[in-house]
Amino acid sequence: AARYGLPAGDVRWRSVNGYLYVSVDPADPETFPQLEEAARETLESRRWREEAQQWFGVARARVIEGNLALQAVDLDMLDDRRLARHVQHLVANFLSVAPLHFEHLSFELAVGELVRAGEVWGLTVDNVAGLVRGPVAGSPPVAPSLDRVAAALAVAGVREPADLDDVRNASGDARTTVDDYFSQFGWRVNRFDVDEPVLIERPDRIVSDIRALIEPTADTTAAERRERERLAMRDRVPQREREQFDELVAAARSARRLRDDGRGVCVDWPLGLIRKGLLEAGSRLLAAGRLDESPDVFEAAPMEVVDLLWGKRALRPRRNSRRAANCA
C-alpha cells in the first residue's frame, strides 16, 4: 500500500472460533507526506499497469514451476521423516509465494481510473462493473480451459459424459486438456483453507462443469452479450476519446485477470498442496495410532505435524472449533 501511496496502518490477524479475521488500523498521519509523493508518482506513471506485465511475463512461470515440482513428488516413495520435510517445504513454498498475490493492487487502481473517466462520459459505476467482466480482447488464456474439453466432446458426439472415463475416452484432445486442467486446478483450495475437499477429490464436479459447457451456444451468447454491452458504452463516449476508453477497459480487465489468476496460483494452489501432504500424513498417523481420526491432522500446527511424523508425540483429540461453533 505504501509503495502505491495508499494510506494503511498496521494489519492485525486473530483467530475466532477457528476462523481467521483481519483488521487494518488507520494510517499514521505522519506518513501522509511520503504517501502523497508516492501516490503522485503512481498516478503519473500508472505503475499498476506494470503489474500484469511483470506477473504474466516473469513471476507467474516461476511460481507455477515450483508448484508443479512439489505436486509431482511421489508421496508413497517418502518415508515418514522425508514426508515431514516435504510438509515443511510445502509450508515454506506457501509463505514464499502467497505475498505476491497481496502485493497486486492494480485491480482497484485500474478500475478506479476507469470509473473516474466514466464519470466524465456519463457512465455509472454499474456500467463500469459490466465492462470489467470478461477477458481482454486478443489475450491468450492463462490456464487450460474446460471450453476446449467441451468442444472436443461435442465434435466426438458425447453430449452427456457420465464420468471422467467418458471424457478421457472421447478423444485425445479431451484427455490431454482435462489432464492439464487437473494438473493446474486439481489441488487448489476454494476458501483459503486446507480442510475441505479440492477438485481432484471431487471429479463429479468437473464432469458437471463440462456438461454445462457442451451446449455450443451458451458461452458464445455470454461473450456476445458482453461485447454488445461494451460497444453500447463505447458509443456514449465522444469519438475522439474512444481509443482512451478502449485502453482503460483493457487495462481494467487485465487487472481483474491478474487478481484472479494471482490468487489461484500464489494462494489457492500452494495451500492445496499443503492439503495433499497433510492427507498423506493423516493417513499414516492414524495407522500408527498417533491420531484418533485422520482429519485431526488439519487442526495441528505445522511443527506438530513434523513431530508427529517423527514419532515425538501423539496429538491429543481436538474438537474442530469451527464446526462446534457452527452447530451451537
Walking along the chain (328 residues) 10 residues at a time, the average pLDDT comes out as 87 83 90 93 88 89 97 97 97 96 89 94 91 61 76 85 89 87 92 89 88 64 76 94 94 89 95 97 92 88 91 68 57
**How far, in Å, CA of 230 to CA of 233, rounded?**
5
This prediction's pTM: 0.85
Please name every residue paired with 22 in a beta bridge, in sequence order, or none if there are none.
Answer: 13
Q: Is 103 helix (H, G, I), strand (E, B) or coil?
A: coil
Q: Tell me how crowded residue 51 is: count the other CB atoms within 10 A of its CB.
A: 22
Per-residue confidence (pLDDT) for residue 211, from 0 to 100: 87
Per-residue confidence (pLDDT) for residue 155, from 0 to 100: 84
Cα dihedral 160, 166, 168, 171 in deg (nearest 10): -70
Per-residue confidence (pLDDT) for residue 316, from 0 to 100: 66
Per-residue confidence (pLDDT) for residue 135, from 0 to 100: 56
Per-residue confidence (pLDDT) for residue 215, from 0 to 100: 65
Per-residue confidence (pLDDT) for residue 76, from 0 to 100: 96
Per-residue confidence (pLDDT) for residue 191, from 0 to 100: 81
3-state helix, strand, coil in the chain (%, to 5): 70, 5, 25
Q: Is 157 helix (H, G, I), strand (E, B) or coil?
A: coil
List own/partner pairs for 209-217 with CB under 8 A and 24 or more apart.
209/146, 210/146, 210/149, 210/150, 210/153, 210/161, 210/167, 210/178, 211/160, 211/161, 213/146, 213/147, 213/149, 213/150, 214/150, 214/153, 214/154, 214/158, 214/159, 214/160, 216/151, 216/154
Q: Tell me how crowded residue 112 is: count the other CB atoms within 10 A of its CB.
A: 13
The per-type count for the chain, helices as H runs and strands as E runs, is 15, 2
Cα–Cα nearest to 149, from 185, 169, 165, 173: 173
